[in-house]
A and B are shown apart, each in its own frame.
Chain A
């Protein structure tokens, strides 16, 4: 019996190859979308980690000698004893044959996670590294080293090109710097009790990791973007799988009825169908993972380029098949298929043996479920609203997203049903009336595909709005914050007054950047002293400000705070803030700050110097028409090391290029999700085509040509897609709002203003319509070319 039943089940697919193909391809595409995004995500994260590690010291605080290039190794021991978690680094140029490499000597046992070498060390056999005078380098540098030095070389692709890593002892020897170290890397986690730096090592200064933080925020936002996309693509995929499976079961209702009538028990039938499904899902999932791999491989060069632009570090742009997304892809295919099958099997099991497989019976049956669906949609949307008002935390943010997503999807068929009903009631012609009525009947069969389209479209609108808003805001922010052409790092300059005098005649405007870390309103924060000139007045944009804000700050009558401080301390315009002991000033402006995790307040330079006479400017922003000439003067005449001069234009370019690349990846994913959604429409249409004939044949027999009918079929699909796309826009904007105003605030502490991009949405709608048109064309073409005999069969056979 089992063999015969399996044979019968399989025979359906043999006879209906197109249906079989659509089921497998549908499952495969959903898996591909999911695993492709996963692959890009995982790979991007891995590459970011490698790149971040390559720049590790830039992101961790460091202790550097106050004078000169190096400090004695004893400082390290003294600081460790005093409770400082630091790790020594020696760095220098290493001649190897004709080329010079950057040699970084580290102490493997104390090097903090996140520092340059920690990623590479994690992959390495530590004993081997410590034993001989081993060097570690990327593939290219390793080749150079092998030819030039006797030391054994370990190749590790995660090491930035041109860099060599060695144990500190080995490096000191190679660099001829016995007993000396270049700097100490400060671990991000420090014990609560430690003796002050000035006591333990007065000749060492703490250099805060800054500058990199701007870029670090960008990285985080890109991660969030990819994570959100992964999440959304998962939802789209689940809907598509659900649609594919549901239709596959629907098509075989007649066969199930016959098999049961012939005496096959229901439970046996269900077990066999599940078995069949798992085999199919594994097959399709496997194909999907390969497809996803291809997609990722095509998109990945962009991701790698993003990282290269971001960090200037070389990252391997090749894709590795990671077990995580292999497995999650297969789990998605099989799990999704089973979840989808559960409801279909449940319906089959409750179907009376002799139920008709007719079209309207199906519509009526789903009408009963309609009130449950409406209730669920309302509940979810209300929950989203409630959470938005009352919820807090990142989890609430993601819960809102999920509620919106599911609620929106569930509400779609109901909204469409209402619209189609209105259309039917309003229309007067006979064909239009039939068209609307027939569309209503089609709706249950298409609704899962349309839900997938809705989600794909909404995800696109949401994510592009988020990325574009972020880009606009961030570009504005960079313009405001990086308005000076050059920044000079004065940390290593002894006579800062001399530097200022030197600059006075050469730069158009000097902005000394005075800052201390302090507590404001009981929170850790930074206090800045600013020399208020035209740069500030012209470039800064406030979230909220009083009219004469700069005048009042310049006069020492008011203070400016950033959004983080205002939010966390609950301070608004006019509230008084104790900026320094004995200095309480009203807040005259609140400024958006997207490159900074903590609170900030800005007072005039005069007030700052009065409050903190010992603090001198660690950095200067310089306005000049000719940054290149000024840079050369600083290096050649003043003797500043060129590494102390930061070209902000370059950082800005990097940051913007990150956005461009983020965009191209987002764009590609947009097109991909839409394409997959369009395919799920095609799939549904093809599957429904056979069920459609009994509905179309009478109309044809009464004198409507096949071409006309085919045209109406296309029109219907495009119309449904258009309605769906139009409904998707508000949903997508809601999603964007949640991402920008809830998730971002929770994740980063600031709220991004939301911008609208109507042209972009118009383009998306056109894209969706084109996709729907394509999807509808083939089934319609088949209908228009169908032999009359096939249509006539409708009247001749029992169905």
Chain B
């Protein structure tokens, strides 16, 4: 298994003591698999994704990624993990505002130390970003910005791709277009995909489906 999530709990501090968000989540995902994570707003989907990416720490439980225990790693170790093995696409604000699109796309691959010009060019072309390479993020539409984020993530060849409503800000038509491109490209790489979505229609496009409710998976 590429990813094993084992009895994870997480709570946030509230005005009257800690508020539990995740109450013991267990999940496994292999290479080439794709899983859609659904749940009500506030159910903790993003929180779970952040824990897997090592962006935040869990209260208890274990997360194994490629055999390494993410929860046991220190900040440095988790950062290294994100550079090399994990790619994340958020709903918005993925890009670095001070860099142009070309630099943004190449950024993560270069950070991880494995830039592949051919692959980057291929992704740029596939996502229709070639005319925008010299522009800056704020000069792009929401859909274009998300395509850049997808290109950037895939260019780094991560083994696990995490996406948090990557098309949540887009209209249905654009969302479908972007999502289809995204899924096709992920499938090509053979990486595992864990994607949060509200839309049953999008969830249906993925291989597996899990629903988060009351802090547990159903």
Contact A704 B107 (CB under 8 A): no
Q: Judge whether B137 and A707 touch: CB under 8 Å.
A: no
Chain A residues with CB under 8 A of B79: 700, 703-705, 708
Residues in B whose Cβ lies below 8 Å from that of A794: 93
CB B87 to nearest CB in A, in angstroms, measures 8
The stretch from B96-104, B121-129, B183-191, B204-212 touching chain A is B96-104
As a 0/1 sequence over residues 694 to 718 of chain A, the CB contacts with chain B under 8 angstroms (1 = contact) are 1101111111111110000000000
Whether A703 contacts B93 by the Cβ 8 Å rule is no
Closest beta carbon of chain B to A159's beta carbon, Å: 67
* A721 to B140 alpha-carbon distance, docked (Å): 34
CB neighbors of B among A674-731 (8 A): 694-695, 697-708
Tell whether, in the assembled complex, residue B98 and residue A434 are in contact, meaning their CB atoms are under 8 Å apart. yes
Given contacts A694-B93, A703-B79, A703-B80, contact A361 B138 (CB under 8 A): yes
Please, how many angstroms separate the alpha-carbon atoms of A359 and B97 in the complex?
A: 7
CB under 8 Å from chain B, chain A span 428-445:
429-431, 433-434, 437-438, 440-441
Q: Quick one: which of A364, A433, A702, A796 has the most chain B CB within 10 A? A: A702
Contact pattern, A 219-241, Cβ under 8 Å of B = 1, otherwise 0: 00000000000000000000000
Interface residues of B in 1-53 (CB under 8 A from A): 12, 46, 50, 53
Least CB distance, A427 to chain B, in whole angstroms = 12
- Asked if B55 and A788 sit within 8 Å, CB to CB, the answer is yes
Who on chain A is nearest to B152 by CB?
A702
Chain B, residue nearest A695 (CB): B97
Indicate if the CB atoms of A792 and B50 lie closer than 8 Å: yes
Which of A360, A697, A700, A794 gathers most chain B CB within 10 Å? A360
Q: What is the distance, in angstroms, from A630's C-beta to the closest C-beta of chain B?
A: 78
* A706-B110 in contact (CB<8A): no
Q: Is B81 an interface residue (CB 8 A)?
A: yes
Contact call B106/A441, Cβ cutoff below 8 A: no
Q: How far is the CA of A796 from the CA of B112 in the complex (A)?
A: 25
Contact in complex: B81, A703 (CB < 8 Å)? yes
**6 A/B residue pairs, CB under 8 Å, sorted by A:** A430-B115, A434-B107, A698-B96, A700-B79, A788-B56, A789-B12
Given A796-B46, A796-B91: 10 more A-B contacts, CB < 8 Å: A429-B110, A437-B99, A441-B98, A697-B93, A698-B94, A702-B107, A792-B56, A795-B90, A795-B94, A795-B164
**Does A349 make an interface contact (CB < 8 A)?**
no
Decide yes or no whether B111 CB sits under 8 A from chain A. Answer: yes
| Interface residue? B92 (CB, 8 A) | yes
B95: interface (CB < 8 Å): yes
**Complex: A358 Cα to B93 Cα, angstroms:** 10
B113-142 interface mask toward A, CB cutoff 8 Å, 1 = contact, 0 = none?
001000000000000000000001110000
Chain A residues whose C-beta falls within 8 Å of the C-beta of B80 in the assembled complex: 703
Interfacial chain B residues near A430, Cβ < 8 Å: 106-107, 110-111, 115
Q: Are A360 and B98 in contact (CB under 8 A)?
A: yes
Q: Which residues of B contact A438 (CB under 8 A)?
A: 96, 98
A360 with B136: in contact, given A702-B111, A795-B164 (CB under 8 Å)? Answer: yes
The yes or no answer to B69 lying at the interface (CB within 8 A) is no
Say how far B120's CB is from chain A's closest CB, in angstroms. Answer: 13
Most chain B CB within 10 A, of A361, A704, A788, is at A788
Closest-CB distance, A123 to chain B (whole angstroms): 64
Partner of B76, one of A364, A705, A795: A705
A80 to B217, CA, bound (A): 113
Which A residues are in CB contact (< 8 Å) with B108? Answer: 702-703
Kindly supply a per-residue 1/0 record for chain B positions 155-180, scoring 1 wherever the CB is within 8 Å of any chain A CB and 0 otherwise.
Answer: 00000000010000000000000000
Q: Does B198 contact A (CB under 8 A)?
A: no
B residues less than 8 Å from A788 (CB atoms): 50, 55-57
For the side of the interface on A, what is the size category? 35 or more
A 343-401 contacts with B by CB, 8 A: 356, 358-361, 363-364
> A residues within 8 A CB of B115?
430
A796 to B164, CA, bound (A): 10
Residues of B within 8 A of A (CB): 12, 46, 50, 53, 55-57, 75-76, 79-84, 88, 90-99, 103, 106-108, 110-112, 115, 136-138, 164
A799–B169 CA distance with the chains assembled, in angstroms: 14
Asked if B75 and A701 sit within 8 Å, CB to CB, the answer is no
B94 (CB) vs chain A CBs: closest residue = A698
How far is A430 from B83 in the complex, measured between Cα atoms in Å? Answer: 13
Q: Which of A361, A440, A703, A707 contacts B83 (CB 8 A)?
A: A703
Report chain B residues within 8 Å CB of A702: 82-83, 88, 107-108, 111
Cβ contacts under 8 Å, B137 to chain A: 360
Nearest chain A CB to B150 CB, angstrom units: 14
Contacts of B88 in A (CB 8 A): 701-702
Given A703-B80, A792-B55, CB of A433 within 8 Å of CB of B138: no
Question: Contact between A441 and B55 (Cβ–Cβ < 8 Å)?
Answer: no
Contacts of A703 in B (CB 8 A): 79-84, 108, 111-112
Residues A359 and B75 in contact, CB atoms below 8 Å apart: no
Supposing A702-B82, A703-B112, A795-B90 touch, asked if A358 and B97 sit within 8 A by C-beta, the answer is yes
Given the complex, which residues of A lie within 8 Å of B106, measured CB to CB?
Answer: 430
Q: Measured between C-beta atoms, what is the minimum distance from A452 to chain B in Å?
A: 24
Q: Which residues of A contact B107 (CB under 8 A)?
A: 430, 434, 702
A360 near B97 with CB under 8 A, answer: yes
Cβ–Cβ < 8 Å partners of B55 in chain A: 701, 788, 791-792
Cα distance A338–B66 when bound, in Å? 60
Quick one: which of B56, B57, B97, B99 contacts A694, CB cutoff 8 A?
A: B97
> Is the Cβ of B94 less than 8 Å from the Cβ of A705?
no
How many angstroms between the C-alpha atoms of A703 and B80 in the bound complex?
Answer: 6
Nearest Cβ in chain B — how far from A693, in angstroms?
10
| Nearest neighbor of A358 in chain B, beta-carbon distance | B138
Please report the C-alpha to C-alpha distance between residue A360 and residue B145 in the assembled complex, in whole angstroms: 15
From B53, B57, B91, B138, residue with most partner A Cβ within 10 Å: B138
Nearest residue (CB) in B for A799 is B93
Given contacts A703-B111, A705-B76, contact A434 B84 (CB under 8 A): no
A437 and B138 contact, Cβ closer than 8 Å, known pairs A430-B107, A703-B84, A795-B91: no
How distant is A557 from chain B, measured CB to nearest CB, in Å? 75
Contacts A358-B138, A359-B98, A795-B90; is A437 near B111 (CB within 8 Å)? no
List B contacts of A704 (CB < 8 A). 79, 83, 111
Query: Are the C-beta atoms of B93 and A795 separated by less than 8 Å?
Result: yes
Given A437-B103, A703-B81, A705-B76, A795 and B92 contact (CB-CB distance below 8 Å): yes
Interfacial chain B residues near A695, Cβ < 8 Å: 96-98
Q: Are A705 and B96 in contact (CB under 8 A)?
A: no
Q: How far apart sit A789 and B51, CA to CA, in the bound complex (Å)?
A: 11
Output the nearest chain A residue to B96 by Cβ-Cβ distance. Answer: A698
Q: Chain A contacts of B138 at CB under 8 A?
A: 356, 358, 360-361, 364
Cross-chain contact B97 with A441 (CB below 8 angstroms):
yes
Known: A360-B137, A788-B55. A434 touches B99 (CB 8 A): yes
List chain A residues, Cβ under 8 A from B110.
429-430
Residues on the B chain within 8 Å of A363, using CB:
98
Max chain A Cβ within 10 angstroms of own Cβ: one of B88, B98, B110: B98
How far, in whole Å, are A703 and B148 apart by their CA atoms in the complex? 18
Which A residues lie within 8 Å of B103 (CB)?
Answer: 433-434, 437
* Residues of A contacting B90 in the complex (Cβ-Cβ under 8 angstroms): 701, 795
Q: Judging by beta carbons under 8 Å apart, are A701 and B53 in contact? A: yes
Measured CB to CB, the nearest residue on chain B to A431 is B111
CA distance A795 to B84 in the complex (A): 21
The distance from the CB of A354 to the nearest CB of chain B, in whole angstroms, is 14
Query: In this complex, what residue of A is CB-closest to B153?
Result: A702
Is B98 touching A698 in the complex (CB atoms < 8 A)? no
